[in-house]
Amino acid sequence: MIYIILVFILVLLDQISKYIVDKNFFEGDTIGVLTDFFHFTYVKNRGIAFGMFQGKLDVISIATVIAIVAIAYYLYKGRNKMPLLEKLGFTFVLAGAIGNMIDRIWRGFVIDMIDFRGIWSFVFNLADVWINIGVVLILLDYFFAEKKKKK
C-alpha cells in the first residue's frame, strides 16, 4: 500500500509542476534561477528522453503502456520477495512513466521545464527525474546483491 501512495505522490508532484509551467509560461519561455546554470524553460517534448523519437506518439504511447503494465505486474508479483531498493526503484520508474503518459494522453506532448545549462543540454521534468532515481536504485540493489553473493 505504501508504494501505491508513493506512486500517487510522485505523479501528483510531477503533474503539479507541469500545470504550473503550462499556466504561467509560453512555449520557449525561460526564467533564470541561477544565471547560466539553472533555468525553468518551457519545452513541449513530442518524443521521449533526450528528445528522441519526436512525433512518434503512437509508438511511444504503446511502449509506455506496456512498460507501465509490466512494471505494475512485476511489483505486484514480487511485493513480498523483492528487496527494498528494488521495490523503491521500480516504484519511482512506474511513477515517472505514469506521469509522462498522462501528458501524452492529455496534451499530446510532455511538458519539460528543468534546464541545467552548461552541464546538460536537455530540458526534462520531474517524471524523468523519478525514472532516473528509480534506475539508480535498481542498479544499487543489483550491485549490493552481487556483492553479497561473492561473500
User: Which residue segment(s) compose the domain that 76 sits in?
Assistant: 2-150
pLDDT of residue 34: 87
pLDDT in tens, the chain (151 residues): 799 999 999 999 999 999 999 999 999 999 989 888 999 999 999 877 766 677 677 788 888 899 999 999 999 998 889 999 999 999 999 999 999 999 999 999 999 999 998 788 889 999 999 999 999 999 999 988 776 767 6
Q: Which residues are catalytic?
A: 112, 128
Residue pair 46/58 in contact by the 8 Å Cβ criterion: no
| Domains held by the chain: number | 1
Q: How far apart are CA 20 and CA 39, in angstroms?
A: 15
The one-letter amino acid at 81: K
Residues 6+ apart with CB under 8 A from 57: 46, 104, 108, 109
Cell representation of residue 100:
509522462
pLDDT of residue 51: 67
Q: Which residues of 117-147 are buried (b: 16+ CB within 10 A; e: fewer)?
A: beeeeebbbbbbbbbebbeebbeebeeeeee
